[in-house]
């Protein structure tokens, strides 16, 4: 009996969350600097809010993923 490769969904979700956090941090990096410049702070904070919303929705999708295929789609969208 060939069982093939078995993927632990909980661990796969953790890996996806790590990738999501890294992508979020990369998007925040330039805005962290702009947020300290008075003339750019308001626009930077608005952009940061949009990024927070984007990644919060992604976090919900990762948590709700029922299978590895759903996680793979999320990971592909990070690239």
Centre a 10 Å sphere on the Cβ of residue 42 and count the other Cβ atoms it contains: 11
Residues in the chain: 79
- Give the pLDDT score at 4: 86
Rounded to two decimals, what is the model's pTM?
A: 0.85
Please report, in tens digits, the pLDDT of each residue of the chain (79 residues total): 567 889 999 999 999 999 999 999 999 999 999 999 999 999 999 999 999 999 999 999 999 999 999 999 999 998 7
Question: The tokens 């990644």 sit on which residue?
Answer: 55
């Amino acid at each position: 009996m060939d069982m093939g490769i078995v993927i632990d969904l909980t661990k796969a979700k953790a890996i996806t969350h790590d990738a999501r956090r890294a992508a979020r941090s990369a998007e925040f990096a330039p805005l962290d600097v702009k947020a300290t410049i008075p003339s750019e702070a308001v626009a930077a904070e608005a952009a940061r809010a949009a990024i927070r919303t984007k990644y919060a929705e992604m976090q919900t999708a990762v948590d709700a993923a029922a299978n590895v295929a759903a996680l793979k789609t999320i990971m592909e969208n990070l690239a």
